């Protein structure tokens, strides 16, 4: 499950960067890489990013219900 959380978080970050580029420079990086917004691979990436965003709601809800939201999956201990 940890690997799935890391993969989906990475895809959400890719999606966020792509939307940032669309907003700032009117440049869709995913479309540019995969041959346009209607290209099957681009649509697959868009779909995976959307599913990943939905998946990331689960750990957010779990961490907020425990009273704390962590930006990282690691917990560092000091000795």
pLDDT tens by residue, 30-50: 999 999 999 999 999 999 999
Measured between its terminal Cα atoms, the distance across the chain in Å is: 29
The whole-angstrom separation of Cα 79 and Cα 76 is 10
pTM: 0.77
Q: Which pLDDT score is estimated for 25? A: 98
Give the distance, in angstroms, between the CA of residue 76 and the centroid of all CA atoms in the same chain.
Answer: 24
Low-confidence ranges of the chain (pLDDT < 50): none
């Amino acid at each position: 499950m940890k690997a799935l959380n890391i993969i989906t978080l990475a895809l959400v970050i890719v999606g966020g960067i792509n939307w940032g580029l669309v907003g700032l420079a009117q440049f869709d990086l995913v479309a540019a890489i995969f041959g346009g917004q209607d290209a099957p691979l681009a649509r697959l990436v868009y779909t995976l990013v959307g599913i990943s965003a939905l998946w990331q709601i689960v750990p957010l809800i779990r961490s907020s219900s425990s009273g704390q939201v962590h930006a990282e999956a690691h917990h560092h201990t000091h000795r």
